[in-house]
Structure 1
Amino acid sequence: MTATIYDVARHAGVSAATVSRVVNGLKVREDLAERVKASVAQLGYRPSRTAQRMRTSASHLWALIVPDFENTFFTRLARGLEQVCRPRDTCVFIGSSDDDPEKERHYLDVALAERVGGVVIAPSSDATDLTKVAEAGIPVVIVDRALPGNAYDTILTNNLSGGALAAGHLETLGFRKAVCIAGPLNPTSDARLQGFVEAAKQKQGLDIVRIEHANNRVDGGYLAMRRILEERTAFDSLFVTNNLMAVGSIKALEDAAPGRKDDIGIIGFDLKEIPFLSGRHMASIDQDPHEIGRIAGERILEQRQDGSSPGCWIELPPTLATFDANPSLIVPRYSSAT
């Protein structure tokens, strides 16, 4: 049987993307290049001419694939990516997968067909398959949600620290019974919830009385809070792992008991991006999506120009901010440890 790029990668103990870089004559660390060349010779591997043509195409189009472009987090991330692209006469096309693996595959197929110069993607799930893109020699950077295996550059927020910041803030203010509304099971949502739960256990002053999972959208947060209220769960604070769900849960609180949100400690991610959101005890765990996008763009360039091997892992520290008396303003308080 004819050897494939994946056979060579396994034999050499490197990623398929590294094999692609070597066979296309791009710069790779010398020891890795020697291992790949030895494996190519031993296995008799012949690279795909189509993949070579795609890799050498100087595309001025990059792809950004995100789960929900209506979320301002990804809008700001796109701005950061554009900051890198614009001076280099490069454009970004954006696809919203809606966390649908089929839609995500469609956008990846488009990226391949258009011979894009790079792909920045927030994966829809752990099963997201980027091997065809890597085999074609297209640089890939993962943002916001990690994939298993650390085969690609990954830029995200330290979500464990973000969850811990949230628990510490509520406990410091004297809240004792928290409910959590977390997103679907994925590394980002899981890490935020895990950080919150572990910190609450360490503090020992904050009990988690209920955890609900929803869809990372406004309607999901609304329905999750309705279930909590209808079952008469006693709580004095709320932690939400996503900004859109926070909006929905606060709306549900206001519909059921107007004014009650001002008596509850409320904390979630990126709430400062939501206009006119206010609350007496409201706080936000803030990320820097613009910087995530900018770094992702720089990593695409490094992979294309300098032969940088993929697989770096960068986590940016979140910060805690509280609303002041003016609901249109947020006052920075302190940042987490890196």
Structure 2
Amino acid sequence: MDAKRATIKDVARAAGVGVATVSRVLSGGSASARTRERVLAVAAQLDYRPSALGRNLRQRRTGGIGLLVPDLTDSFFGRLAEGVLACARSAGEPVVVGSTGDDPEQEAELIGMLLEQSVDRLIAVPSGDADAWGPAVKAGMTVVFADRLPSEAPGEDDDSAATADLMLLDGLAPAPVARSADLPAVLADDRAGIRTAVRYLSGLGHRRIAFLGGPGHDRRVAAFREAVGSPVDEELVVFATGSRDSAYAAASGLFQSRPDLTAVLAAGNVLGEAAVLAARELDLRVPRDVSLVMYDDVPWAELCAPPLTVIAQPARDIGYRAAELVLRSGSRRPRGVVLPTELIVRGSCGPRR
């Protein structure tokens, strides 16, 4: 039979202090160094574990962090989630994870569920537009976006915002641009990554470069259009939905409708996988017939024949830093973070013959 679980009263009695002092020490409040040391030593000796349920009921919140991602089977979002979990674990906070399927309606339902559970901190890879986050913010929820920002509401000037971001990367000072989502975010510098990849392909002689995108890739396609320059051949800019079947159909259709293209930039690892499979099915040789660059590095990229050139981004760090921001939130609004990307050149790109 298990021994009776120690209570906060047991710790207080053994340490010779009041219950309030024990509570203050365990919650990180003020106490003398000697008292803190004695309380913590007794708590460890008695294997005392505070009741999270009772503590949070008194605080009228459930505790923990909400995490919403589009697809947990996508290795990028899996690594992002690992970063969030690692940071939350070090802070002793549980994480409630939800998968939105990149569906704004499902995202809204999950936000409502978290609000009902009184979760007041949320990290999200957003699927809907900025308006979807109004109820959460008004309810007092601290929201930090990761990997991407909500899409702009209809009528907002996407092109001017994209141009401003690109000017900042070049060290210029654009005119201020109003943002629809004035919330902190942790992002990879995907614009710099996309531009570096396009310049690399252009340096190899490629002039008909296609872009294969999906949900949440607004910033990446804006960077692509800017990098290839005007006029943009819009037939070479193709979007899929979030599913693997849709990604394969988009890649296959692109190859078949534009046999004159010489290079493809896939804006995510699911899209990159689809491009590899479609090229193989259509007997297109990489890189002799078509060069491929994929945004995001994954283990299988090096196992391809030839290995894929990629734009690597720090997925786990994005999650970890987002959790740090949401945990540090208080009276001061946390600032956003931009993390660097890196072009890793392998064997999937060659000179235009």
Written as runs of structure 1 = structure 2, the 5 A alignment for 1:157-168 is 157-168=188-199
**Which residue number corresponds to residue 312 of structure 2?**
286
Q: Deviations over 1:220-239 (max 9, x none)?
A: 23112222233353122111
**Which residue number corresponds to residue 221 of structure 2?**
193
Q: Does 1:73 align with 2:76?
A: yes
Q: Deviations over 1:175-207 (max 9, x none)?
A: 3321221224x4xx12212222322239x9x98
Written as runs of structure 1 = structure 2, the 5 A alignment for 1:107-122 is 107-122=110-125
CA contact (8 A) 1:266 1:283 kept: yes
CA contact (8 A) 2:71 2:102 kept: yes
**Which residue number corresponds to residue 345 of structure 2?**
322
Q: Deviations over 1:270-301 (max 9, x none)?
A: 14344664244731011112111111111112
Tell me which amino acid in the other structure corresponds to 2:246. G
1:94 to 70, 83, 97: 97
**Which residue number corresponds to residue 246 of structure 1?**
272
CA drift of 1:324 comes to 5.8
1:227 to 243, 249, 253: 253
Query: 5+ unaligned residues in a row in structure 2: which ranges?
Result: 1-55, 151-178, 349-353
Q: 1:210 to 1:136 in 2, by over 3 A?
A: closer
**SS of 2:274 mapped into structure 1:** helix
Larger-gyration structure (1/2): 2
**SS of 2:141 mapped into structure 1:** coil
1:269 to 279, 295, 313: 295
Give, in whole Å, the separation in 2 of the partners of 1:281 and 1:173.
18
**Which residue number corresponds to residue 151 of structure 1?**
182
Q: Does 1:103 align with 2:106?
A: yes
Query: 5+ unaligned residues in a row in structure 1: which ranges?
Result: 1-52, 326-338
Tell me which amino acid in the other structure corresponds to 2:227. A
CA contact (8 A) 2:313 2:342 kept: yes
CA contact (8 A) 1:176 1:207 kept: no
Which structure has greater strand proportion? 1
CA contact (8 A) 2:302 2:308 kept: no
Give, in whole Å, the separation in 1 of the partners of 2:263 and 2:96.
40
Q: 1:297 to 1:91 in 2, by over 3 A?
A: same
Count of equivalent residues: 265
Q: 1:258 to 1:129 in 2, by over 3 A?
A: closer
TM-score for the superposition, normalised by structure 1: 0.70
CA contact (8 A) 1:55 1:137 kept: no
Give, in whole Å, the separation in 2 of the partners of 1:150 and 1:253.
39
**SS of 2:264 mapped into structure 1:** strand
TM-score for the superposition, normalised by structure 2: 0.67
Tell me which amino acid in the other structure corresponds to 1:197. R
